Structure 1
């Protein structure tokens, strides 16, 4: 027999439902089920509801109608129609349940105060939405197994208090309720019943008049009631699963934020997230009441939990938010420098016009501030009056519309050294203001509003998508929006190493660590590229010559396999040329492309003597060794001015990259070539690695082809490699059909040039794994470590440029994850981390750990650091 919680001790749950969650009968049935589930657990329930979706906007039309009678009446008629349809759908016994509210709306529409848009009248108009939805809800819930549901007028319990310097508009339409735990209210409500429904958004002032809590104020109401009742939890039910690391409609790879503390959540909400109103969190934080954001359509999903979290949480960027409609006020004068009271004078003007300042940036002769439209009545009249007053003491410039892009996380100052890529993204933009918060929770950049939507996905890829598991215990980030929309996650994709598990365990038993390469996988990748064809009806190959970038993996067996598939070879050193010739003695010299960078003269001379094709990417060889290139055909590597890739260290274009001849030096290069009798027969550009967007190669191809038309002897255009291999579940593989389409498009326009490409990692990454054995395990605080018998001496990529490799316990492949662990090696370096924050089964000494996608830039970059032998290589 289940124990029943004594009535006096039954906790409260406050459940708030937004507009989309109260707009249909099926959504109200969800509300009834949720409330009933709480009751079954022995909890009292206070339901807070918003107006039906779209109704507040219709009420705003009435509030804005002034002398436009037709507009007011049209909006009124639509509100009546919407509610009548829902009453009919709910099949309520009393179809006149809304009659008093509809009569009140008629009185307000006819009220003479509409002409002047009196603030008190506006508050009464806007309040109708919640009053009507809650009345409908109370009647409906009584028919759904909750007959004791009682309607509660929020205005009887939420008392707004004016703030210092608060204007009439904000006192009435954006009021503040200083809610605190109220034992008397809690006891009185408990004595009345178990289930209540009330309104969000509305309260009363000291004179008993209706006031509003601002747009989105239903969340605030829930927070206030939760604090007053000392609720066990406040639930915000909406149409999304919780807070995300970015707006998921802009960034499908945005990650669900599974756990946040109050301050982090408030920063995210304040800086742009629409799923939660920031004012709701203050009362809850003070009362220590947790809040959970839940999905009405998927009530079983855990959502986002917000509560107090220990102060020892590790630094981590958790979200990228954006606020649009931001106005900047720039105030400049030499008179402010060392002038006592200047800021007091200018801020007095903001106070007089009822404007609150958000961000502040200052210099010796300039102060720039931002106005947040969510907290201000910002219009042209107010701004003109403000500018006129400020002009008395300084030069004023208004910048609008702007967007504030904010990076939110804990310990932002400790992360500054990791933000070089972010600063590079902003470097090409006109950044009007940069602000780092004093609470160490955010870093904000203010830019032109039109640039925000394009910038946010790039920032998310740099800071969160590529590093989403660096949170302090791995429980911060949940699945991506794309994964949630796709439904049940699919099982792991089939890989050759899963099928070969028994053989791999046997190899590891013989010796560890080991690199293992599967030639079948290399062959499959090579054939996929070789089969690229132009769209029908054309059937010819698009790429005239594929070169394998030898630096990815020069294993002789791999070279022979790729030669058999028709690949030529791209080498970046004389030693790589020697390796190809040793593995393939009969290979014609012209099937080797030599593309060195800052190599000594001797290597160029030796390569030319062998008859291989030589690429130059600087003026120096022609300026100082011109006689070596007399009569020779050479290829020119051009820097197109921008780099691409998942990390700064794989970007090979732009002024900060050492590769290629700058576009403004191409004419000088041509003159030098003519002077020494060299012929430029090919143009080449390679801008970076790990690229998954097929349109990249269209851009490179088109730019080089256009440039080639200005030459007289160009035979081939080499658009490089960099074909990406997805490392994470939320990354989409390079679309080869799309790649074929963009190549065909440009080739049709420039059929006179051969097309060359030079992939490396794409061909061999998935074909290789690194096997290692567990040596020790360790726990320090909340951090679990799994040590293995090799590290950065065998696989440098994670330490060098934060590369992500899937890691599994091959010995316990199907076991459930037990801990979030750090997979580390034996090298005496803090950077010897092969995988940070990975969920693995319980690991024991001797278990075989498999690190996937290790076929490229693995063994070839290995060393004997600490005099430890790197992993040996095995072909299967």
Structure 2
């Protein structure tokens, strides 16, 4: 360390603020990292370091339960004391010496007379104990490791702002904002603290009445920002368990890109619309004071993370897509609002009355709908019921819960609309309650049912990249993918045609062009599908490639073969002599009567898709077991051209005509043993599968009840989709809710097999 005084160091190199979250302070090796980082920053900058810490992971949740009046408060306090003592033992510290006084204060709060009525000032003191404990034990450990570090009480330096208009009593004590415009006297007093490195608490401040105030959930980030602004720090670093901000939640979207550098405005939008790595309120103090911020990974401090500052490149395009769950929509409808002066003021006065902060607003001539963010409001059932009762006096009220808000964030959103067609099409089957485009042109939000949001973000993220709306090629903004950072990118295997290069060249000597199939690759692909345990039988649609060698290999691997014409049927039996007819599926469209008769004579499984077949050729189908192909009235797919369901579909019996079909089938003694549906290709939305299977299940269950002898639950056709491994895990439990007897899942994924480029190679000589 320098021999200069701390005050002189501060004047020369300034301050740097390091904030560490709950996961970063809950392990011994991470405290070692904290000490190393503090020392390195002080030596590198020639200045001083302020370390701001959160409570140990999970402690604030326990304290919140105690503050809320949990009946087992004493047991929770005992458990918290035991946990801290165990951690101190891991740190090789004497618990009574290091934390004896602090633990006594925690126990004493239960004996406090205020505990019986739990006033807000008492609750604030309870909630503050987590950070006071963690900072105290951290200071003791780092001193033992040889770091010259001083402990300070954040409440001596951060002052809560006076009560604001419309601010609830709860927010005035447990979700406060603080003064962050400093003066020379404040900085001089702060700099007089004797040690070069200081540690303090996040989350807490001094209330106007001299008591404790809380900054709210995520308040430790904001504490660090306040100190950074007050000190005019050279940088505020937020150390957490991820290496920065990403273009999507990396745990949900493994291909999310690291956002290497952002401006304050875009970072603010990303944090307020769902990103949890940084608290939204932490940005404004740093932005207005010109203090750069960085988000870094405690476990991997060598990674560059995300930098937020004024000098970030201005790049148009979507930077991130986020999702917020638990959103509440409140809709008020009344024809009387049309051209009525002051109507909206009356509506919003009621939200103010109940202490609710409105997030998004959508209006029409007769309706106003607003969203409430659970992270900024106490959205208990009692509060919502009271609000609805008051709003009901001025209009018809509808509360929609739970919802999810899917938000795109980036500069120039209005100029990107022409690139967002694929994003819009992703919502075609979702119930979109609200679309909101921000006035600052930085975000576009879709509010849908929360259940429909599952699995949607990866699809939308990929669409944004493919369309060019998310400019991932801009390396000043976008860094590597999450899976690359975590080493989860599997090395691409050597393609078979490189391994077989000598043989291919030898074949070329006999003349070109040539088209060669690699049957071991065909077997490998087949076995990948066979490994999906939830699928009972797999089919290969021979239209993908009818080469006899491929058909024979697939039959040997246990696959059935799907044909759409009599010629394909003959081809299959010629290419694979001895194949069991039950393993051949015949799914024609507009075929002549003779083809149906020959297929039935061969003993293959026959699919029909219209009632006219039964009416025109009743003797052909009388007493037969058949499959029925249904058009459920809607389609899906990665492109409009592969959408095969809906009013323009040319395949399948309309869902509205199922009753009509059943009546004809009953009269002819036909047994329907399977249902077949094809809504589109390249579908990656889990909701598509869930919706489709639910509809098929409900229809078959209803028909079985109507006519048990006619509608027999047997093998079920599955929607065709290559990504079967992502959709199959829930099949068994799902099917059990539809049919009391065992149901089977049969799949015919042609897009999987249409990729014959993986097992085929074509070449010619120039």
Q: Fold-level match, TM-score > 0.5?
A: yes
Match of residue 660 from structure 1 = 652
SS, match of residue 317 in structure 2 = coil
8 Å Cα contact 2:362/2:370 also seen in 1: yes
Match of residue 222 from structure 2 = 220
8 Å Cα contact 1:720/1:756 also seen in 2: yes
- What does residue range 40-439 of structure 1 map to in structure 2 within 5 Å? 40-42=43-45, 44-65=48-69, 73-92=74-93, 95-98=96-99, 101-102=102-103, 104-105=105-106, 108-147=109-148, 149-162=149-162, 163-180=164-181, 193-205=195-207, 208-243=210-245, 251=252, 253=254, 255=256, 257-259=258-260, 260-307=262-309, 309-315=312-318, 318-324=320-326, 326-379=327-380, 386=387, 389-392=390-393, 394-395=394-395, 397=397, 399=399, 401-410=401-410, 411-413=412-414, 414=417, 416-427=420-431, 433-439=434-440
Match of residue 722 from structure 1 = 720
For residues 390 and 530 of structure 1, the distance between their equivalents in structure 2, rounded to whole angstroms, comes to 55
1:666-712 alpha-carbon deviations (Å, 9 max, x no partner): 45446778999999998644444457999989989978987799677
8 Å Cα contact 1:683/1:704 also seen in 2: no
For residues 71 and 17 of structure 1, the distance between their equivalents in structure 2, rounded to whole angstroms, comes to 30
Q: Which moved more, 1:48-57 or 1:254-263?
A: 254-263
For residues 315 and 533 of structure 1, the distance between their equivalents in structure 2, rounded to whole angstroms, comes to 36
Match of residue 639 from structure 1 = 631
In structure 2, relative to structure 1, the CA distance for the partners of 1:402 and 1:548 (3 Å cut) is closer
In structure 2, relative to structure 1, the CA distance for the partners of 1:516 and 1:239 (3 Å cut) is farther
SS, match of residue 528 in structure 1 = helix
Match of residue 29 from structure 2 = 26
8 Å Cα contact 2:334/2:396 also seen in 1: no
In structure 2, relative to structure 1, the CA distance for the partners of 1:96 and 1:503 (3 Å cut) is same
8 Å Cα contact 1:702/1:746 also seen in 2: yes
For residues 551 and 364 of structure 2, the distance between their equivalents in structure 1, rounded to whole angstroms, comes to 60
In structure 2, relative to structure 1, the CA distance for the partners of 1:290 and 1:156 (3 Å cut) is same
For residues 661 and 388 of structure 2, the distance between their equivalents in structure 1, rounded to whole angstroms, comes to 55
In structure 2, relative to structure 1, the CA distance for the partners of 1:339 and 1:698 (3 Å cut) is closer
For residues 106 and 518 of structure 1, the distance between their equivalents in structure 2, rounded to whole angstroms, comes to 75
How far 1:527 sits from its partner (Å)? Answer: 5.9
In structure 2, relative to structure 1, the CA distance for the partners of 1:172 and 1:503 (3 Å cut) is farther
Where is the helix percentage greater, Structure 1 or Structure 2? 2
For residues 153 and 440 of structure 2, the distance between their equivalents in structure 1, rounded to whole angstroms, comes to 38
8 Å Cα contact 1:16/1:49 also seen in 2: yes
8 Å Cα contact 1:421/1:648 also seen in 2: no
In structure 2, relative to structure 1, the CA distance for the partners of 1:84 and 1:557 (3 Å cut) is closer
SS, match of residue 126 in structure 1 = helix
1:325-379 alpha-carbon deviations (Å, 9 max, x no partner): x444433333211100111223233334433222223233332333334333455
SS, match of residue 430 in structure 2 = helix
SS, match of residue 408 in structure 1 = strand
8 Å Cα contact 1:516/1:874 also seen in 2: no
For residues 723 and 58 of structure 2, the distance between their equivalents in structure 1, rounded to whole angstroms, comes to 44
- What runs of 5+ residues in structure 1 fail to find an aligned partner? 536-540, 727-731, 769-852, 856-870
8 Å Cα contact 2:689/2:719 also seen in 1: no
- What runs of 5+ residues in structure 2 fail to find an aligned partner? none
1:201-223 alpha-carbon deviations (Å, 9 max, x no partner): 12235565432211221010112
SS, match of residue 130 in structure 2 = helix
1:387-422 alpha-carbon deviations (Å, 9 max, x no partner): 565455x03636375333222322555255223443
For residues 88 and 671 of structure 2, the distance between their equivalents in structure 1, rounded to whole angstroms, comes to 83
8 Å Cα contact 1:226/1:289 also seen in 2: yes
1:782-810 alpha-carbon deviations (Å, 9 max, x no partner): xxxxxxxxxxxxxxxxxxxxxxxxxxxxx
8 Å Cα contact 2:121/2:173 also seen in 1: yes
1:568-598 alpha-carbon deviations (Å, 9 max, x no partner): 8645579x8599699979999x99876455x
SS, match of residue 286 in structure 2 = helix
How far 1:143 sits from its partner (Å)? Answer: 1.9
In structure 2, relative to structure 1, the CA distance for the partners of 1:156 and 1:760 (3 Å cut) is same
How far 1:506 sits from its partner (Å)? Answer: 11
1:760 is the counterpart of 2:760: no
Match of residue 518 from structure 1 = 517
For residues 585 and 169 of structure 1, the distance between their equivalents in structure 2, rounded to whole angstroms, comes to 76
1:703-723 alpha-carbon deviations (Å, 9 max, x no partner): 898779967799996836735
How far 1:49 sits from its partner (Å)? Answer: 0.7
In structure 2, relative to structure 1, the CA distance for the partners of 1:679 and 1:336 (3 Å cut) is closer
How far 1:124 sits from its partner (Å)? Answer: 3.4
1:139-178 alpha-carbon deviations (Å, 9 max, x no partner): 221222312x122332333333243433433222211125
8 Å Cα contact 1:320/1:456 also seen in 2: no
8 Å Cα contact 2:713/2:739 also seen in 1: no
8 Å Cα contact 1:223/1:284 also seen in 2: yes
Provide the TM-score with structure 2 as the length reference: 0.76
How many residue pairs match? The answer is 731
How far 1:105 sits from its partner (Å)? Answer: 4.7
How far 1:279 sits from its partner (Å)? Answer: 0.7
In structure 2, relative to structure 1, the CA distance for the partners of 1:311 and 1:580 (3 Å cut) is farther
8 Å Cα contact 2:522/2:550 also seen in 1: no
In structure 2, relative to structure 1, the CA distance for the partners of 1:638 and 1:108 (3 Å cut) is closer
1:15 is the counterpart of 2:18: yes
